[in-house]
Amino acid sequence: MKYMLLLHEPDTDWTAVGQEELDKALAEHAEFVQYLAARGRPFSGEALRPSCTATTLRPKGDDIIVTDGPFVELKEHIGGFYVIEADTLDEAIEVAKHVPIGSGVEIRPIWDA
Amino acid sequence: MSLEAAVAQAHRREWAAVLAATMRLTRDFEAAEDAVQEAFEAAMVAWRRDGVPPNPGGWLTTTAKRKALDRMRRADALARRLPLLVVPDDDPEVIQDHRLRLIFMCCHPALAMNARVALTLRLVCGLPTSEIAHLFLVPQPTMAARLTTAKKKIRSAGIPFHVPDDLTARLPAVLAVVYLVYTAGSADRAVELAHLVASLLPEPEVLGLLALIRLNEARAAARFSSDGKPVPLAAQDRSRWDRSAIAAALPLVRKALRGGGPYALQAAIAAVHAEAPAYADTDWPQILALYDELVTVYPSPTAALGRAVALSEVHGAAAGLAEADRLSAELGHYYLLPAARAEFLRALGRCDEAAEADRLAADLAPTTAEAEFFRARAVDSPTRP
């Protein structure tokens, strides 16, 4: 089964943080990627630019309205995601415990193709 | 034994084992659930005609598996291959393991607490949805929807049918479900469940929970008067306590205490109360020591308040009152806090304040019977001369 791990984090502009903080965050993710690789677990993942760069479309009657900002305005946003393979939710939880955790990690099973 | 009683008994004792064995065949709990339901319906007919079989559990398992196979044959185009999958009669160890898997699946932390309780009652105890709905005071369609949502999550999120590797991390969730079944007013089911878990997994905390429920049940008859009013511990008629049930639970408490967990400690406190011939004989220093331990391993409103009562018995009502006041910031809305304050204040002769605390307890009380009790106490209590 495939699971998406949605990484919720305090909104951060990674272009504005100090080099040290950036290196630390990158190192944490490198460590997680190493953890996955060491176990031969297939995965993919991406980091997202901050929510101030987000654009949201909403239906309005027959129209679609384009608006600035994320779908929900919160203090935390989805900062990135991984897609992993796991046989059960317990396995997915075990993997997710190793994700560098910001505010929380949401585990979502992905529909089988 | 009448036919109905025999089927009811088999339902109580065998449901989980039959379901677990059938799941081994179907690999799908909904198909298994339907098959087991059909097997029990078939039992009503067959046992009336042929008499109750010597091994009802075996009969039900065989029948449920056959029903499940019939369904699978009907559903599956590869019908002719299916007989190969029929497994020989399950040995008891495998069935035990499967019942445990069933329990851990139903009590998975990724399910909402109320869904865990409902699923456990449905799949492990075999309770009909209508009865579960009645127990939790919700309409039947609400409960049916809750069960459907939970089953959907198990299936689509991949909640596994296995016993977790890290038992210590997952056991508390199972025990919490059993305890909730108990507090929801289904003592028989809770005892059965606790007994089942204890027989499969004799960990100290499991024994502690079983002992706690048994000790509470042994004293349940004295807890309410004939007209349904709650009777405080000090006023309970201890001749109505079931002394043999209490004696039977004590060895469990001793075993449980080796783990030192919260259920074991609560059971030990219940045991000290249960062993006192009269309220005045209660070993309060012992109870206080157990509460000291309990609030450390399991900080909770009830534990903190129990400790305040023990403090007042050992060191006087003023000490109890001071502790209750200290707790009021975090437990302000917990009705037993003003109730306890009322008792401490009354013992100190501050009767007007006591009556006021009783009225507050009445306002916050979850049941009308308890509210009436506190209201009556507020009126009856002597005013200061």
Q: What is the pLDDT of residues B149-185, one digit of tens each?
A: 999 999 889 998 888 888 888 898 899 999 988 988 8
Statement: residue B349 has pLDDT above 50: yes
Domain total of chain A: 1
**Tell me, what CATH number does A22's domain have?**
3.30.70.1060
Domains of chain B and any CATH numbers: 3-88 (1.10.1740), 91-201 (no CATH)
Whether residue B162 contacts residue B98, with contact meaning beta carbons closer than 8 Å, is answered with: no
Tell me what pLDDT residue B115 has.
Answer: 93
Contacts of B159 in chain A (CB under 8 A): 88-90
For the residues B204-229, what does the mean pLDDT come to? Answer: 92
Whether residue B191 contacts residue B210, with contact meaning beta carbons closer than 8 Å, is answered with: yes
Tens digits of residue pLDDT in A74-109: 889 999 999 999 999 999 999 999 999 989 999 999
Tell me what pLDDT residue B90 has.
Answer: 57
Question: What range does the domain containing A55 cover?
Answer: 2-109
Best of B152, B156, B161, B166 to disrupt the A interface by mutation (most A CBs within 10 Å)?
A: B156
Contacts of B108 in chain A (CB under 8 A): 89
Q: Do B108 and A86 touch (CB under 8 A)?
A: no
Q: Give B201-257 as a 3 state SS string.
A: CCCHHHHHHHHHHHHHHHCHHHCECCCCCECCHHHCCHHHCCHHHHHHHHHHHHHHH
Q: Show the tokens assigned to B261.
A: 């967990």
Nearest to B150 by CA among B121, B193, B174: B121
Tell me what pLDDT residue B83 has.
Answer: 43
Q: Do B164 and A90 touch (CB under 8 A)?
A: yes
Tell me what pLDDT residue B292 has.
Answer: 96
Best of A85, A88, A90 to disrupt the B interface by mutation (most B CBs within 10 Å)?
A: A90
Q: Show the tokens assigned to A95.
A: 């993997």
Contacts of B158 in chain A (CB under 8 A): 1, 3, 86-89, 92, 109
Statement: residue B84 has pLDDT above 60: no
Q: Do A89 and B159 touch (CB under 8 A)?
A: yes
For the residues B257-269, what does the mean pLDDT come to? Answer: 95
pLDDT band at B82 (very low <50, low <70, confident <90, very high): very low
